[in-house]
Amino acid sequence: MRVLFVCLGNICRSPTAEGVLRHQLQATGLDRRVEVASAGTGDWHVGKPPDRRAQQAGAARGYDLSALRGQQVCVDDFHEYDLILAMDESNLSNLKRLQPAGAKAEVDLFLRRYQAAVDEVPDPYYGGDDGFSEVLDLIEHGCRGLVRELQGRS
């Protein structure tokens, strides 16, 4: 199983989700059966590490995001990944426009799929440090739901 998280620039939300899911997969023993990555719909941060604030917020909870590097979604991703999860409606729309006919990937809105109360992970980039903690709360909750789904598929 291959999972791809997607946000706009791939330096805040999607790499945080990648790091959190990797951690949760290791804790449940699914890390050998599930591959995780993240990407952005934009190309501004390709090759760059996650935002310093995202790394700090993640590290405070035991997630190491430092090795991750930004990449941009491409058409091939729709054939290589099984599940592509967007952080918000705007990126979901971008993904659906890019998705080729007949691609195997299931494309969905991350939190809508795993949390009924909130549909989108807000972009913390232009806010303060508290926004990164809020994003982590939402992503941790969503990833727990995703792990339950992955366990059910085994």
Q: Tell me which of 7, 12, 53, 77 is the catalytic residue.
A: 7
Residue 13 is among the residues annotated as catalytic for this protein: yes
Residue 7 is among the residues annotated as catalytic for this protein: yes
Residue 12 is among the residues annotated as catalytic for this protein: no
Cβ neighbours for 77, distance < 8 A, ≥ 6 positions apart: 4, 39, 84, 105
Least Cα distance to 16 among 44, 46, 41, 36 occurs for 36
Q: Tell me which of 22, 51, 123, 143 is the catalytic residue.
A: 123
Q: Tell me which of 12, 13, 22, 77 is the catalytic residue.
A: 13
Q: Active-site positions?
A: 7, 13, 123
